[in-house]
Amino acid sequence: MKSRILGLFSILLLVSCKVKDNAQNDLNYMQNIEQVAIESSAKNSGNTIQAGDQLVIMITAKDMDVVKPFNQNYSSSEMIQTNTYAGGNTPNQGMTTISGPTYIVDNNGNIDFPIIGTITTKDKTLIDVKNELREKVSQYVINPTISVRLTNFKVTVLGEVNRQGDYTVANGQATILNALGLAGDLTGYGKRSDVLVIRTENGTVTHGRINLQDGNLINSPFFNLKQGDAIIVQSTKAKEIASRQNPNTGLYLTAISIGVTAIAVVIGLFKK
């Protein structure tokens, strides 16, 4: 009798350890990263400017009076604040202040820049526009400094994360890991092997799925996010099962385990 009870307890213990090990593996990100060849650093890093993007462009030089015509209708008291947290629930935290004249990219991909005129941003990155402006402003100013910032780069994170919502990324560049970090990471019920990314670019909607447990995610075209991307984290079947279970099921299983152990101990004392 004693041996049977101890045997049953041993099986329960082994099963419990196995389940815990599997659960722990399911929570680990990029498990095979050491074996993955990084191929995406060049091809995925440059997001192009889209219609509706809000650019803050500031021209500076040793003599600021010289560059005033390029910074028309701007006062140093004007500032744009972007909050990296959703819904402004944590004011004064993660707040980035950006100052400078603001330009909205029109539906044709253009902005009207003082002195220079129309600047086409279509299929260009922030660096491309920065280099173009430096070249054109240099015709009027010696050694100008050009700052180009994207201030309305937003992504949406929904589903099994700790903080759902819209997030603004101040520097206009973010990976899916950055976005999930802003959202407080996945919950214990988040499906890490199948995260959906929905992208709208130039009026075309595409989507892709990312396995956070696979290091190859860094080579996915959806690893580096683009303006307006939506990240949706689905629930695992464990949550569905848990939602149908009695909330005290875990306590019952623990009590049974303790009871089996106690019986084995008592039987052992009587045998002595």
- The answer to whether the CB of 220 falls within 8 A of the CB of 205 is no
Instruction: Please state, in angstroms and rounded to a whole number, the distance separating the CA atoms of residues 225 and 247.
Output: 38
For residue 49, is it within any domain?
A: no
What are the beta bridge partners of residue 54?
104
pLDDT in 10s for each residue of the chain, 272 residues: 555 554 554 554 554 454 444 444 555 665 655 656 555 444 445 688 988 899 999 999 999 999 999 998 665 444 444 444 444 333 334 455 567 889 999 999 999 999 999 999 998 999 999 999 999 999 999 999 999 999 888 999 999 999 999 998 877 788 999 999 999 999 999 999 999 999 988 778 999 999 999 888 888 999 999 989 999 999 988 766 666 666 666 665 666 667 666 666 556 555 65
pLDDT value of position 247: 62
Question: Among residues 93, 120, 150, which one ends one of the domains?
Answer: 150
For residue 190, is it within any domain?
A: yes
Q: Are residues 170 and 139 located together in one domain of the fold?
A: no
For residue 19, is it within any domain?
A: yes
Q: Are residues 35 and 66 located together in one domain of the fold?
A: no
Q: Are residues 59 and 144 located together in one domain of the fold?
A: yes
Q: Are residues 77 and 99 located together in one domain of the fold?
A: yes
Q: Are residues 91 and 130 located together in one domain of the fold?
A: yes
- The answer to whether the CB of 19 falls within 8 A of the CB of 201 is no
Q: Are residues 91 and 159 located together in one domain of the fold?
A: no
Instruction: Please state, in angstroms and rounded to a whole number, the distance separating the CA atoms of residues 167 and 183.
Output: 8
- The answer to whether the CB of 180 falls within 8 A of the CB of 186 is yes
Residue 187 belongs to what domain range?
31-44+153-235
The beta-carbon contacts of 13-21 under 8 Å, at least 24 apart in sequence, are 16/257
Question: Among residues 130, 150, 170, which one ends one of the domains?
Answer: 150
Beta strands 54-60 and 102-104 are antiparallel
Q: Are residues 161 and 249 located together in one domain of the fold?
A: no
- The answer to whether the CB of 187 falls within 8 A of the CB of 160 is yes
Q: At which residue do the structure tokens 């074996």 appear?
A: 35
Q: Angle at which helices 2-27 and 249-271 pack, to 10 degrees?
A: 150
For residue 221, is it within any domain?
A: yes
For residue 261, is it within any domain?
A: yes
Instruction: Please state, in angstroms and rounded to a whole number, the distance separating the CA atoms of residues 206 and 199.
Output: 5
Q: Are residues 199 and 267 located together in one domain of the fold?
A: no
pLDDT value of position 62: 92
CATH number at residue 81: 3.30.1950.10
The strand ranges marked E within the chain are 54-60, 80-83, 95-98, 102-104, 110-113, 117-120, 145-150, 154-159, 165-168, 190-201, 204-210, 230-235
Q: Are residues 80 and 126 located together in one domain of the fold?
A: yes
Question: Among residues 150, 174, 200, which one ends one of the domains?
Answer: 150
Nearest alpha-carbon partner for 230 in 196, 185, 187, 268: 196
pLDDT value of position 163: 96
The tokens for 44 are 């995925």
Q: Are residues 93 and 174 located together in one domain of the fold?
A: no
The tokens for 263 are 């019986």
* CA distances, 65 to each of 13, 56, 76, 146, 218 (Å): 77, 19, 13, 15, 46
Q: Are residues 199 and 67 located together in one domain of the fold?
A: no
Q: Are residues 189 and 131 located together in one domain of the fold?
A: no
CATH number at residue 219: 3.10.560.10
pTM, two decimal places: 0.64
For residue 256, is it within any domain?
A: yes
Number of domains the chain contains: 3
